[in-house]
Amino acid sequence: MRRRALLAGAVAALALGEPLHAATRYEGPLFDAHLHYNDEAQQAHPVADVLGRMQRSGVRAIVANSRPNDGTLSLASARDATRAAGLTVVPFVRLYRNRADYSSWFGDETIHQMVLEQLARGTPAGPFRGLGEFHLYDSANADGPVAAKLMKLARERGLAVLAHCDEVAVEKLLAHAPGARLIWAHTGIGGTPVAKVRELMLRHPALIGELSYRPGLTDGRGGPADEWREAFTALHGRFVIGSDTWINPRWQHYEALMDEYRAWLGALPVPLARRIGWGNAAGLFGLPDPQQ
Ligand SMILES: [Zn+2]
């Protein structure tokens, strides 16, 4: 009997100790701060489908952008449906009319003109609140004339900028417009050392890190890696999450992606998890807390 009791105790301890992260899943609202509703997604996943995925995932606000910009407009136009889903759409102007624009926008004056036109037009969900996502595969292109112009425009108009680039390009972009609100897509997708991320954030108080695809983020046991936990604690107002639905499989797995966030956020203290999951992005755009 004694042996059995001991054994039962050990099993109970294991059960208590092991799945700690899973047991403390983050249950609060999510703000998806990096979402695309591109051309090809609109056919496979009509508005009702993507809104259903967000609603089932507890996503209460999104940064919406798309190639071309009509996808964003269809989300921003679906006022009744987004209201019913409890979702706030924060529209961004994307710089891409087509895939060719990814690698030339930074020197293309017609993109600058398109951005000005879109900003003037606005959306049924309100004015555009940001620019991007844009890509800089070669950091030198952050000094392209249109990249510099758009950074200055963003700062002048209080727009956020969602940029996929390395740490060199972050510095270059912010040199064009010091103090501009730059959301760094993926926070160093090439594996920028966490110490470097922290140093950049300390030097640039308006730099925000978005965490999709960030290598080394989790510890393999369901929680954030130690160095990330420390960064989140030290810079608690500076990180946000996103789905990055850049291809249709990301839409197919949307709920699972949000579940992954809930799992590792659950390993953080609840107020910190809520900041990263919701509050930091909500604060950027002045959104109130959801009712429930
Ligand atoms: Zn993206």
User: pLDDT of 231-278, one tens digit each?
Assistant: 999 999 999 999 999 999 999 999 999 999 999 999 999 999 999 999
In the prediction, which pLDDT does 221 show? 87
Q: How far is the CA of 36 from the centre of ligand 1 (A)?
A: 7
In the prediction, which pLDDT does 201 show? 98
Q: How far is the CA of 269 from the centre of ligand 1 (A)?
A: 28
What rounded mean pLDDT belongs to the chain? 93
Q: How far is the CA of 23 from the centre of ligand 1 (A)?
A: 31
Q: How far is the CA of 111 from the centre of ligand 1 (A)?
A: 18
In the prediction, which pLDDT does 23 show? 62
Q: How far is the CA of 8 from the centre of ligand 1 (A)?
A: 49
Measured CA to CA, the distance from residue 65 to residue 164 in angstroms comes to 14
| CA distances in angstroms from 34 to 16, 124, 129, 161, 244, listed in the order given | 35, 20, 13, 11, 5
59-65 vs 181-184, strand pairing mode? unpaired
Under 8 Å between Cβ of 187 and 196: no
Which of 17-26, 55-64, 142-151 shows the lowest per-residue confidence on average (mean pLDDT)? 17-26
Q: Which residue has the higher pLDDT, 55 or 6?
A: 55
Structure tokens at 172: 């270059």
> pLDDT > 70: what percent of the chain?
91
In the prediction, which pLDDT does 187 show? 98
Residue 16 has pLDDT above 70, yes or no: no
Q: How far is the CA of 224 from the centre of ligand 1 (A)?
A: 22
pLDDT tens digit sequence for 35-91: 999 999 999 999 999 999 999 999 999 999 999 999 999 999 999 999 999 999 999
| Mean pLDDT across 210-215 | 98
In the prediction, which pLDDT does 64 show? 97
Measured CA to CA, the distance from residue 174 to residue 11 in angstroms comes to 54
Q: How far is the CA of 117 from the centre of ligand 1 (A)?
A: 23
Query: Helix 226-234 vs helix 194-203: angle between axes, to the nearest 10 degrees?
Result: 10
Residue 173 has pLDDT above 70, yes or no: yes
Rg for the chain, CA atoms, rounded = 20
Q: How far is the CA of 244 from the centre of ligand 1 (A)?
A: 5
Q: How far is the CA of 14 from the centre of ligand 1 (A)?
A: 40
Point out which residues pair with 123 in neighbouring strands: 126
In the prediction, which pLDDT does 3 show? 47
Contacts of 82 by beta carbon, 8 Å cutoff, 6+ apart: 51, 75, 88, 89, 125
Q: How far is the CA of 175 from the centre of ligand 1 (A)?
A: 23
Contacts of 78 by beta carbon, 8 Å cutoff, 6+ apart: 47, 51
pLDDT-derived band of residue 10, with 50, 70 and 90 as boundaries? very low
> pLDDT > 90: what percent of the chain?
89
Q: How far is the CA of 35 from the centre of ligand 1 (A)?
A: 7
Measured CA to CA, the distance from residue 61 to residue 225 in angstroms comes to 27
| Of 161, 234, 223, 162, the residue nearest 194 (C-alpha) | 234
| Mean pLDDT across 189-194 | 97
For the chain, give the secondary structure using H, E and C: CHHHHHHHHHHHHHHHHCCHHHHCCCCCCEEEEEEECCHHHHHHCCHHHHHHHHHHCCEEEEEEECCCCHHHHHHHHCHHHHHHCCCEEEEEECCCCCHHHHHCHHHCHHHHHHHHHHHHHCECCECCCEEEEEECCCHHHHHCHHHHHHHHHHHHHCCEEEEECCHHHHHHHHHHCCCCEEEEHHHCCCCCCHHHHHHHHHHCCCEEEECCCCCCCECCCCCECHHHHHHHHHCCCCEEECCCCCCHHHHHCHHHHHHHHHHHHCCCCHHHHHHHHHHHHHHHHCCCCCCC
In the prediction, which pLDDT does 6 show? 43
Structure tokens at 227: 């160095």
